[in-house]
């Protein structure tokens, strides 16, 4: 979650956090050779950066990963009906505890919470899965600091399916309001997005861009 919102300025999208919160968290985790009790204290200090950076929270609710004002309830419903995302860990090739994916349990939880059937094949049936070349006029912007970028469209399949990569960007950094601390890459990618949209508007009512050759200037553009 911290990596997801690793913005270059203070923000409160998930929780109130300082600028570059990953660095703030890691500042407490620099010495793995400390005695166990000291390690626990340092881990606690790192956790406090995410859950109580303002110092105003009397008791940590570590089961709540985002502020209530974000309204994440809608996302959990959508993950059942439109975007189920199987996730798992084994504790060996990753840094997390062993947590296998249980599709039946996920489906049962969707039924229990929302009274809906989990549609695991919906993205494939509705959008075509990874074969998206039939679509057009979409910008896929990917901040590589955001762990979600691992599932992003990082290369432009066609001229009107534009992939933009922001090496120092976190989750939808380009869609946030401009900030004096924005790196040049943020400003550049916003210009590239506007350029693409203006081109689509200019071609409205004329020949479609869908089947045109991919412009080299758009191929895996790293801003």
Query: Got the DSSP string for 105-148?
Result: HHHHHHHHHHS----TTHHHHHH-TT--TT--SEEEEEETTSGG
Q: What tokens does 54 get?
A: 């303002």
pLDDT for residue 207? 52
- How much is the pLDDT for 95? 86
**Residue 36: what pLDDT?**
96
Q: Say what the pTM is.
A: 0.83
Give the closest residue to 169 by CA, choosing from 155, 190, 151. Answer: 190
Minimal CA–CA distance to 72: which of 11, 1, 124, 10?
Answer: 1
- pLDDT at 213 (0 to 100): 46
Average pLDDT for runs of 10 along the chain of length 223:
96 94 97 95 95 90 79 88 91 92 96 94 88 92 95 91 95 95 96 93 64 46 52
pLDDT of amino acid 63: 80
**What's the CATH architecture for 1-67?**
Up-down Bundle (1.20)
Q: What is the pLDDT of residue 64?
A: 80
Task: Show me where the domains of the chain are located.
Answer: 1-67, 72-124, 136-222
């Amino acid at each position: 979650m911290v990596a997801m919102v690793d913005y270059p300025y203070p923000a409160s999208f998930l929780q109130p956090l300082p600028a570059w919160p990953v660095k703030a968290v890691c500042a407490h985790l620099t010495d793995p050779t400390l005695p166990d009790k000291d390690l626990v204290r340092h881990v606690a200090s790192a956790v406090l950066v995410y859950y109580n950076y303002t110092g105003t929270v009397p008791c940590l609710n570590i089961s709540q990963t985002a502020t209530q004002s974000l309204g994440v309830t809608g996302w959990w419903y959508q993950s059942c009906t439109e975007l189920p995302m199987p996730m798992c860990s084994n504790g060996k090739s990753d840094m997390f505890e062993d947590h296998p994916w249980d599709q039946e349990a996920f489906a049962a939880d969707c039924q229990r919470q929302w009274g809906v059937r989990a549609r695991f094949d919906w993205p494939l049936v509705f959008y075509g899965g990874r074969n998206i070349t039939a679509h057009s006029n979409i910008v896929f912007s990917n901040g590589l600091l955001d762990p979600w970028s691992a599932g992003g469209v990082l290369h432009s399949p066609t001229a009107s399916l534009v992939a933009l990569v922001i090496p120092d960007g976190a989750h939808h950094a380009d869609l946030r309001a401009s900030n004096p601390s924005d790196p040049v890459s943020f400003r550049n990618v916003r210009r590239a997005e506007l350029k693409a949209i203006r081109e689509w508007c200019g071609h409205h009512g004329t020949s479609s861009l869908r089947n045109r050759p991919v412009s080299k200037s758009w191929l895996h553009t790293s801003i």
